[in-house]
Chains A and B, each alone.
Chain A
């Protein structure tokens, strides 16, 4: 049975100015299941933030249908009672302390009294800001601000957490801390929706992805399925000498062997013939999962060629 918490069907979004009309989202369809860590990938300007803002009801969609938590276009109030959103640049009240900021957001989410205090302590500990909680936010580093933004998002234990470029502008140490934090949340069963153009980060965190390019979805589904469907055959072969023109692109492998990749078995048969013609032999041919980065480039490239 489907347990989709977010479903987009043919969603479009137009931005109209006096001079021109821009189609930011064009027939976008994908879904996110409960407990998923979903990564929406795309280059800058691909429409990721617009898609997220449409789902959150922060901007109106121009067409299509959109369901969140089983409700067709739920009201903003209804939605934010059960979800949380961390924008690209978390907007924090810099004159307040970290604890005051979180307490304010907690009260707005109907937390109060002892429950609020308990959640404040738990959340600050989780994001490793308990020592800096009583300092003004203006004195925080960028990484600390980002973690405070995440703390504000998870404070009221929402069912879905939306994060727009959560590691943008962070140094490697800061990025890793945020990634570890998100991995902890995912391990705890939270549903995360992450917008990112950092493919390595998404590959490490997400189990489901959507690839957005110029407002259109180029691919969407479980990461394992997408990358598995697009696996390559890694071929290792022996040759009496150096590979000639017909085997250009082969690289040296261990044990004096050579290696190359082919997309399918037909290409493997053709390659075997070339190797045999050169006096060599195929030692092994194994399916190899391609990296998300290669898949992303191919998905975007295919569309551009088309």
Chain B
């Protein structure tokens, strides 16, 4: 119950923060862009939405506990009979609920745009943003955990490199065609390491389609959800351990 109280209050605070308005503004821009792009809307808008949600997950992850430490509210929360782990899990759940609302907003706008343009859209396209949420949970947990051990910008970079676009040499070359060989080696090496420490993202992006062929979308989604939840819990435990070692 206490975890749910933290989650509920985190959602309330986030919904009143400037991130909410920034998110709403971006959704509006996206909607405008999809109308303008006509037939190209599905892939463009979905990729854009995916990127925005990914960046939001990273930002929420690195600032979730840090902001409360900076303004002292983490300390005052801990003057209640609640453990640090419960607070961290509750905050993560609240942030996930917030991301879910934003993703639902994206989905609703994409459906609206499709209906307006008369474009063909499948149910799978419509829920695309929502079924990325387990991965966002994993990325958010990774960013939150790393931010307890390293400066926030480092945590942000690590979480960013968990993006599947950095996983293969081809995708890095595609994103940065003029990268020097040394920079390429560093980026590729770090990205591989990050994907090793953040398996839910790599598993999801690289294997989702294969899994769905074998087991169907529903089973794969459930499997990934449980996988991401376990991963997030492990990150929460590590973050709580790191914070417990410090004077809050």
Contact A109 B81 (CB under 8 A): yes
Residues of chain B at interface, number, CB under 8 A: 23
Q: Which of B1, B73, B75, B83 meets A107, CB within 8 Å? A: B1
Q: Which of chain A's residues 230-254 have a Cβ closer than 8 Å to chain B?
A: none
Chain A interface size, as a band, is 20 to 34
Contact A89 B12 (CB under 8 A): no
A157, CB-defined interface residue at 8 Å: no
Contact B75 A58 (CB under 8 A): yes
Q: Which of B6, B17, B75, B247 meets A87, CB within 8 Å? A: B75
Contact B80 A105 (CB under 8 A): yes
B182, CB-defined interface residue at 8 Å: no
What 0/1 pattern do residues 211 to 248 of B give for CB contact below 8 A with A? Answer: 00000000000000000000000000000000000011
Contact A59 B73 (CB under 8 A): no
| Contact partners of A77 in chain B: CB under 8 A | 81-83
Contact B2 A93 (CB under 8 A): no
- Main SS of the interface on chain B? loop
Q: How far is the CA of A77 from the CA of B247 in the complex (A)?
A: 16
Contact A80 B79 (CB under 8 A): yes
What 0/1 pattern do residues 78 to 106 of A give for CB contact below 8 A with B? Answer: 10110011010111110110001000110
Q: How far is the CA of A58 from the CA of B243 in the complex (A)?
A: 12
| Contact partners of B76 in chain A: CB under 8 A | 87, 90-92, 152
| Contact partners of B175 in chain A: CB under 8 A | none
Q: How far is the CA of A91 from the CA of B6 in the complex (A)?
A: 16
Q: Which of chain B's residues 70-91 have a Cβ closer than 8 Å to chain A?
A: 71-73, 75-83
Chain B residues with a Cβ under 8 A of chain A: 1-2, 5-6, 9, 12-13, 16-17, 71-73, 75-83, 247-248
A-B CB contact pairs (8 Å), 6 listed:
A58-B248, A80-B80, A87-B75, A91-B76, A92-B76, A107-B5
